[in-house]
């Protein structure tokens, strides 16, 4: 995680912080802008007032997929009823340069137009830019939509740890965590291999025991057949005498 740059109270310090949001024909918002503060932002309102809409706009404006929200499968479902297109604009704080403004426009056909600071770009470029700011709208430990709370509660301890490290960990921590997981995987694979070999030894030992009994029976049979042959010869000789 990049350390926050020094700042005075009331100023943005964390790279990637949302400075401003703007929605045009997005769900219930006709033409609305929100100016965010540098610290904790709290949105209060009755049901249906558009609180979740703001969360949806943040996700979709930062290259998130509709599946992340768990509300609608098509981007066109987020266009205001009766309108032909919608637009979401997200301004992100940049400590060294001008703030980054990402804009996403789409119409009823589902065609998207992306721009960064007014310049037309592709989706991949937006995704790389968002990842550079360490923004992860698909990580429930960093971005938790209302309709995904149930999925978050079902995460096991391993899933929570992985998501938390991805959300807040530094690059070095993530690398060490990955190395630790690889070592754990190799150890588990080694233990599994040992158990399989151990089971194979038991099976082969039992197989050898059965073969030893077969060999013993074969030798006994050979002795009996030899004795029978000898006795048959004596019988013929006795009859001759």
Q: Are residues 40 and 110 in the same domain?
A: yes
Pick the range with the lowest mean pLDDT from 25-39, 173-187, 190-204. 173-187
Q: Are residues 195 and 117 in the same domain?
A: no
Residue with the two structure tokens 């899933």: 159
Q: What is the pLDDT of residue 234?
A: 86
Domain boundary among 114, 138, 162: 138
Instruction: Name the nearest CA neighbour of 60 among 24, 96, 84.
Output: 24
CATH code at 126?
3.40.50.300
- Of residues 175 and 224, more confidently modeled: 224
Q: Are residues 130 and 202 in the same domain?
A: no
Q: How far is CA 189 from the centre of its chain?
A: 22
Q: What is the pLDDT of residue 167?
A: 60
For residue 42, being part of any structural domain is answered with: yes
Overall number of domains in the chain: 2
For residue 7, being part of any structural domain is answered with: no
Residue 188's CB is within 10 A of a number of other CB atoms, namely: 10
- pLDDT bracket for residue 166 (50, 70, 90): low
For residue 187, being part of any structural domain is answered with: yes
Q: Are residues 36 and 132 in the same domain?
A: yes
For residue 49, being part of any structural domain is answered with: yes
Q: Are residues 34 and 129 in the same domain?
A: yes
Give the residue-averaged pLDDT of 1-23: 70
Q: Are residues 22 and 120 in the same domain?
A: yes
- pLDDT bracket for residue 5 (50, 70, 90): very low
**C-beta separation of 149 from 160 below 8 A:** no
For residue 165, being part of any structural domain is answered with: no
Q: What is the pLDDT of residue 3?
A: 40
Give the residue-averaged pLDDT of 19-24: 94
Q: What is the pLDDT of residue 25?
A: 94
Confidence check: pLDDT of 88 > 90: yes
- Of residues 199 and 193, more confidently modeled: 199
Q: Are residues 96 and 202 in the same domain?
A: no
Pick the range with the lowest mean pLDDT from 13-27, 159-173, 201-215. 159-173
| % of the chain exceeding 90 in pLDDT | 32
What is the DSSP secondary structure assignment for residue 115, as one 8-state letter? E
For residue 119, being part of any structural domain is answered with: yes
Confidence check: pLDDT of 91 > 90: yes
Give the residue-averaged pLDDT of 27-46: 90
Query: What average pLDDT does the structure give for the chain?
Result: 83
92 strand-pairing partners: 18, 100
What backbone torsions phi and psi does residue 129 show, to the nearest 5 degrees? -65, -45
Q: Are residues 133 and 174 in the same domain?
A: no
The beta-carbon contacts of 51-57 under 8 Å, at least 24 apart in sequence, are 52/145, 52/146, 53/23, 53/26, 53/27, 53/28, 53/29, 54/21, 55/145, 55/146, 56/27, 56/145, 57/21, 57/23, 57/26, 57/29, 57/88, 57/90
Range of the domain at 62: 18-138
Q: Are residues 70 and 174 in the same domain?
A: no
Q: Are residues 104 and 174 in the same domain?
A: no
For residue 41, being part of any structural domain is answered with: yes
Q: What is the pLDDT of residue 100?
A: 93
Listing DSSP states for 130-161 in one string gives: HHHTT--TT-TTT---GGGHHHHHT--HHHHH
**C-beta separation of 139 from 72 below 8 A:** no
**78: Cα within 13 Å, side-chain hemisphere:** 32
What is the DSSP secondary structure assignment for residue 84, as one 8-state letter? S
- Of residues 85 and 235, more confidently modeled: 85
- pLDDT bracket for residue 4 (50, 70, 90): very low
Q: Are residues 80 and 24 in the same domain?
A: yes
Give the residue-averaged pLDDT of 183-198: 82
């Amino acid at each position: 995680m990049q350390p926050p740059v020094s700042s005075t109270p009331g100023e943005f310090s964390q790279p990637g912080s949302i400075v401003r949001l703007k929605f045009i024909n997005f769900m219930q918002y006709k033409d609305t802008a929100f100016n965010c503060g540098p610290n904790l932002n709290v949105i209060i309102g009755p049901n249906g007032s558009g609180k979740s809409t703001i969360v949806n706009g943040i996700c979709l404006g930062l290259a998130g997929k509709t599946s992340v929200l768990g509300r609608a499968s098509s981007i066109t479902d987020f266009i205001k009823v009766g309108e032909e297109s919608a637009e979401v604009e997200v301004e992100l704080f940049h400590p060294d340069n001008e703030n980054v403004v990402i804009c996403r426009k789409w119409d009823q056909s589902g065609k998207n137009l992306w721009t960064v600071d007014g310049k037309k770009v592709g989706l991949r470029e937006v995704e790389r830019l968002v990842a550079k700011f360490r923004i992860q709208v698909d990580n429930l430990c960093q971005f938790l939509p209302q309709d995904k709370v149930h999925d978050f509660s079902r995460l096991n301890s391993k899933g929570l740890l992985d998501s938390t490290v991805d959300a807040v960990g530094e690059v070095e921590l993530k690398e060490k965590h990955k190395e630790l997981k690889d070592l754990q995987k190799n150890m588990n694979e080694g233990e599994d291999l040992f158990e399989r070999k151990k089971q194979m030894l038991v099976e082969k030992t039992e197989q050898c025991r059965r073969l030893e009994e077969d060999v013993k029976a074969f030798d006994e049979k050979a002795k009996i057949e030899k004795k029978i042959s000898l006795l048959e010869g004596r019988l013929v000789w006795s009859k001759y005498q």
